[in-house]
Structure 1
Amino acid sequence: MFTKVDGPVRLADRVAAMLADEIESGRLTTGDKLPTEVELVKQLGVSRTVIREAVSRLSSAGLVEARQGRGVFVLPPRTRPLDLDADTTDTKAKVLQIVEVRRAMEGEAAELAATRATADDHARMRQALAAIDAAVAAGGDGADEDLAFHRSIAESTGNTVMVSTLRYLGEVSRGGIRVTRANEARRDDFYDAVREEHDSILTAIEQGNPKAARTAARRHLEHAATRLQKAGPEFWNTTQDLDVDLDTAE
């Protein structure tokens, strides 16, 4: 089924890519069982350690699932994470494109929230902002909490289609948001600016000012793009080391 894999470096990456191609091409479909570890070792000419690492990466990407005592099976297609294993220029372009999409969607969400959010919604947004600070103080990057804050804005609109769309966008862009947060954590002025921008969005929503809320949300994403543009090659060269595996959307 497979040909032997050889090469000086990153054999696990190459094996994972080969198996992923079998799945994405349809040669292996939902419910199919992968060859056993022993069979893959024999077919590919690599060690068991390489096979285990490759399968672990496919599992993290949501392509396969290991079932105790039965083997490894192909999962139904699902949303894929941002691929940060590509070259650094491609990574930067992808992250900036995600910011552009978020700017359009979240500007609309903030505008609607300013006309529809209740006092309880405002309280949930404030709690979400506090959670970002708590996560960072505990040593985290605050990416999931950042997503939760923006999701709380969408939820306050009462528009279920918008909520679902932004939840989907958040799932797709989780890796990009993690990169953005990592960049902002490098400098105190970046981090302080983000906190002020978040607070401006919420203040406009609490004041019931849709135009100001939309402007604040769009400005926040525009500034995020500017901060990413200021990051040098030394930052982009580290993005593949970030933990950006796709998690199940909350």
Structure 2
Amino acid sequence: MFSKVSGPVRLADRVAAMLSEEIESGRLAEGDKLPTEVELVKQMGVSRTVVREAVSRLRNAGLVEPRQGLGVFVMPRRTRPLDLEAGDTQSKVLQIVEVRRAMEGEAAHLAATRATPDDLARMRQALDAIDAAVAAGGDGVDEDLAFHQSIAESTGNTVMVSTVRYLGEVLRSGIRVTRANEARRGDFIEAVRQEHHAILAAIESGDADAARDAVRRHMKRAASRLQDADEGFWNRTEGIHVDLDPTP
């Protein structure tokens, strides 16, 4: 059914594009089951990691749905969620940082004037959880997301909360790449820790402008750290597999 995949373009991009074309063209129709992972590996001549990443992208785009013990099936056509997987990894991740700077900066601005003592306690717990995850050898992605989501929740704005939660899930792959880059160096890890604590300190002080500036500074520095990463790091990001669930 499928031909071998090769060439300079990222393999996961090409596999995802080929599968998408089968679905968009109707050759794989609503309710059809995709070939198994083993079959796709054999037909396309790629690794299981590449196939998993490609299928994850289709799931992100709302094209397919995995069903426990049955396989992966084509979904009914509907409005597609944001497609943030295709394209050059470095430029895409930097764009993700820009989106987060705008959205999360405003969330912190509101949180500084609205957060309750319980909200602040949850933020502190989230920062402690990041430290614990890193100390245990984890990447801290879930804990990082929880910190920024706790800020949004403290605004009391349900639309803000839902939007930040949605973006957090959709942008998880970019956050994972960002934290993988920061984990390369001890000074990066400490810098991120200090930036997070500066955000919390500004919110705790009730200084809305300082809170917004702290988030923007954090995101600007995250982008700078990414731009300093060498080609070897970006090549390794192709092996990062993220199972996204963009449901708000």
Q: 2:85 aligns to what? A: 83
Q: Does residue 1:60 correspond to 2:56, yes or no?
A: yes
Superposed displacement of residue 166, structure 1: 1.1
Q: Does residue 1:222 correspond to 2:224, yes or no?
A: no
Q: Report the residue type matching 1:32 in the other structure.
A: G
> Against the structure 1 CA distance between its residues 21 and 106, is the aligned structure 2 distance closer, same or farther, given a 3 Å change threshold?
same
Q: Does residue 1:33 correspond to 2:29, yes or no?
A: no
Measured in 2, the distance between the counterparts of 1:236 and 1:12 equals 15
Q: 2:23 aligns to what? A: 23
Q: Report the residue type matching 1:128 in the other structure.
A: A
Q: Which residue among 201, 204, 214 is the counterpart of 1:203? A: 201
TM-score normalised by length of structure 2: 0.81
Measured in 2, the distance between the counterparts of 1:25 and 1:151 equals 38
Measured in 1, the distance between the counterparts of 2:135 and 2:14 equals 38
SS for the counterpart of 2:171 is: helix
Q: 2:74 aligns to what? A: 74
Q: Report the residue type matching 1:205 in the other structure.
A: I
Q: 1:154 aligns to what? A: 152
Query: Residues 8-42 of structure 1: CA distance to partner in whole angstroms, max 9, x if unpaired?
Result: 6899975554222222456545x4213666xx96x
Q: Report the residue type matching 1:147 in the other structure.
A: L
Q: Report the residue type matching 1:138 in the other structure.
A: A
Percent sequence identity is 65
Question: What's the C-alpha RMSD, in Å, of the aligned pairs?
Answer: 3.2
Superposed displacement of residue 173, structure 1: 1.0
Measured in 2, the distance between the counterparts of 1:185 and 1:51 equals 29
Measured in 1, the distance between the counterparts of 2:56 and 2:199 equals 34
5+ residue gaps in structure 2? Answer: none
Measured in 2, the distance between the counterparts of 1:141 and 1:71 equals 29
> Against the structure 1 CA distance between its residues 134 and 93, is the aligned structure 2 distance closer, same or farther, given a 3 Å change threshold?
same
> Against the structure 1 CA distance between its residues 106 and 67, is the aligned structure 2 distance closer, same or farther, given a 3 Å change threshold?
closer
Measured in 2, the distance between the counterparts of 1:55 and 1:161 equals 35
TM-score normalised by length of structure 1: 0.81
What pairs with 1:121-140 in structure 2 (closer than 5 Å)?
121-140=119-138
Quick check: 2:195–2:214 contact (8 Å CA) kept in 1? yes
Q: Report the residue type matching 1:18 in the other structure.
A: M
Q: 2:236 aligns to what? A: 238
5+ residue gaps in structure 1? Answer: none
Q: Report the residue type matching 1:158 in the other structure.
A: G
Measured in 1, the distance between the counterparts of 2:163 and 2:68 equals 35
Quick check: 1:81–1:171 contact (8 Å CA) kept in 2? no
Quick check: 1:81–1:174 contact (8 Å CA) kept in 2? no
